[in-house]
Structure 1
């Protein structure tokens, strides 16, 4: 964490804090399937900033503002709890419409960066906070006079993979499909029916 951001967080109880979030979503074109990345942030104007990537490098990215972006549910735990992050957008913003209706966001990779603002300027370069994939993206259409929105549920891809059930069977056929000479499960189908005393041949 950059020293300027650490100092701002330390002073938050006395001076308050104005957090800002940056969300990078790599959706797909519905027709061609090609990646169509889009950056959005919680400010009002468009902004180009340099952010740290998950692989340790940096990149300059353009982020669109004025979408009513809110990020909730960021938690840091020491166990394998699956805590999805919710990214909320205004459904009437043209960029939000283009993202969720014009592009395919299902399982789209997402990066969430955050920093704070001090005197109308960013306290530091946005820091990487979360890496995941879009799990759900319901669009709430309100009644007349009501409030709607778009809520993207971002889950950790690692936790998603850990929670999935592996359909592969530990059978001789499956093992040989992976490696023709594999004999590890050669007797797997019948070994359960065999009754053998360990001291007899």
Structure 2
């Protein structure tokens, strides 16, 4: 359970209301260089810098057009999927989709509590989600219709579902058990021709 900063707790105790913004941070590979690149979006109106983990990050303002579902925080190994909608025609979203390789990009979602009077951050944003970007389909609407880019996110628990590569090699299986011939012909089986009829 995250620790609540004293300034945030004081605002909650006043019962005048709360204001929290959602920060979306993506680390993806550049398609040309292969180097990791970062880009951030938040639900505010203008670009802003936030201090997270001792690092100053710049987030591009996308306003209320970012649609982020409620994040479920539970213990366990269940792989959760979330769908985050972004506006498709902004330059920053075009950069994410066309210049970066979005598939399997690392994603973090933070919640940033703001002062309801000044609009300034009350404390360092709290991470609510850490995972991977699984898909990024673009939906272009008809003339006058809505268009959007939907990011399909999966939690980090997904890495626990991947099979071990040691179980895919015939040599590795025979090293453990010399009589195991289960994957002996897997490399050439697709090239065999069978007679039919």
- TM-score tier, shorter chain, comes to 0.7 to 0.9
Give yes or no for contact 1:50–1:59 (8 Å, CA) kept in 2. yes
Give yes or no for contact 2:45–2:62 (8 Å, CA) kept in 1. yes
Equivalences for residues 7-18 of structure 1 within 5 A: 7-8=10-11, 10-11=12-13, 14-18=15-19
CA drift of 1:185 comes to 2.1
SS at 1:91's partner residue? Answer: coil
Q: Which residue of 1 aligns with 2:150?
A: 151
Q: Does 1:36 align with 2:33?
A: no
1:169–1:81 distance in 2 versus 1, CA, 3 Å: closer
Q: Does 1:77 align with 2:59?
A: no
1:30–1:171 distance in 2 versus 1, CA, 3 Å: closer
Q: Does 1:132 align with 2:135?
A: no
1:48–1:162 distance in 2 versus 1, CA, 3 Å: same
TM-score for both structures, normalised by structure 1: 0.75
User: Of 42, 48, 55, which aligns to 1:59?
Assistant: 55
Structure number with bigger Rg: 1
Unaligned runs of 5+ in 2: 182-197
Counterpart CA distance in 1 for 2:136 and 2:169 is 39
Counterpart CA distance in 1 for 2:6 and 2:81 is 28
User: Of 84, 91, 94, which aligns to 1:87?
Assistant: 84
TM-score for both structures, normalised by structure 2: 0.76
1:138–1:156 distance in 2 versus 1, CA, 3 Å: same
Deviations 1:14-54 (A, max 9, x none): 544322011211122212211111122111111111112xx
SS at 1:98's partner residue? Answer: helix
Unaligned runs of 5+ in 1: 53-57, 177-182, 190-201
RMSD of aligned Cα (Å): 2.6
Q: Which residue of 2 aligns with 1:186?
A: 178
Q: What is the total number of aligned residue pairs between the two structures?
A: 176
Deviations 1:35-82 (A, max 9, x none): 111122111111111112xxxxx2111111136323224111122222
